[in-house]
Structure 1
Amino acid sequence: MNVIVDFNDETNSITEEQQKLIESVILKTAELEQLTGDIEVSVSVVDEQRIQEINKEYRDKDQPTDVISFALNEQEEDEPEFVYSEDMPNILGDIIISSPHITRQAMEYGHSFERELGFLTVHGMLHLLGYDHMTEADEKEMFSRQEDILAAYGLTR
């Protein structure tokens, strides 16, 4: 398995080490979710204003949020199924993280910036893989999986 992370920090707030953390957490998630082949994920770190604009435009919610994911492999019932060629990567989608939320939530939950960054990255990655938290059962499954991945990586509370 080869994982390509296309990283863009619009805020210039993420260090090189933190960028490597993002890439490593995505790789760990892919391993534990038993993904195979070439995989590509886009990660952008943005400010609060930008994530609010994205949230309003795509989710009709005019408020900032901590992380938004856009899965490219999600398929609507009336859409044809996309067939991947073995010589092209499986482009999972985009994860957009709010830098101010990382800082705020790390302080609120009493853990490090890196733990929160890892949490939001795994959360976004699991959304790209089809996990959701619309029901209580789905939320329990997703959040349990997040904690398992973070623990396997070594990012505990």
Structure 2
Amino acid sequence: MAVYLADEQDEPVDAEDLVALARHVLAAQRVPDEMELAILLVDRDTIAALNAEHMGKDGATDVLAFPIDEPGESSPDAPSILGDVVLCPVVAHEQAAGLGRTPQDEVRLLTVHGILHLLGMDHGTEDDEREMFGLTDRLLAGYGAGA
């Protein structure tokens, strides 16, 4: 599994940890090895512009997910790109304390959250939210156990 990370912002982030976490999530969710994932760390202005353009919402958000290919959708001889997770560490760090998490734990949670969106999960209903957040917790616990 190829996981690419581009850091285009100034907040301290453990990039190697996020790549390892992403690989853990992709493996646990049985995403084919030939799929690629990009994680982009951006500043507040960049995520606010993306949020307005793609979601029609004003202001900065913590994470956005842009799916491209679903697992198994591409032919074996074509590139297969799961999608992009765009994360704003400054927003994540600001909200972490209010949620009782460390900044690193919040960035990890949002990374998993974004990847699960790429895999088609959503939290539009109570049942979907319970399923998605339960899986997020299990994936993070599994990563912590293996770290």
TM-score between both structures, scaled by the size of structure 1: 0.84
C-alpha RMSD over aligned residues:
1.8
Give the match for residue 39 of structure 2. Answer: 43
Map 1:1-157 → 2, pairs under 5 A: 3-15=1-13, 18-73=14-69, 84-154=74-144
Which moves more between the two structures, 87-96 or 40-49?
87-96
Gaps of 5+ in 1: 75-81
Q: Percent identity?
A: 35
- Amino acid of the structure 2 residue aligned with 1:11: Q
Aligned residues: 144
CA distance in 2 between partners of 1:87 and 1:25 (Å): 27
Q: Secondary structure at the match of 2:101?
A: coil
CA distance in 2 between partners of 1:29 and 1:89 (Å): 20
CA distance in 1 between partners of 2:84 and 2:75 (Å): 20
Regions of 4+ moved over 6 Å:
none
**Structure 1 position 38, deviation (Å):** 1.0
TM-score between both structures, scaled by the size of structure 2: 0.89
**Structure 1 position 14, deviation (Å):** 3.9
Q: Secondary structure at the match of 1:141?
A: helix
CA distance in 2 between partners of 1:37 and 1:85 (Å): 14
Q: Secondary structure at the match of 1:154?
A: helix
**Structure 1 position 105, deviation (Å):** 2.0
Contact 2:62 2:87 in 1 (8 A): yes
Per the alignment, do residues 61 and 110 of structure 1 end up closer, same or farther by CA in structure 2, a change over 3 Å counting?
same
Gaps of 5+ in 2: none
CA distance in 2 between partners of 1:59 and 1:132 (Å): 15
CA distance in 2 between partners of 1:154 and 1:59 (Å): 32
Give the match for residue 78 of structure 1. Answer: none
CA distance in 2 between partners of 1:126 and 1:147 (Å): 12
Contact 1:37 1:90 in 2 (8 A): no
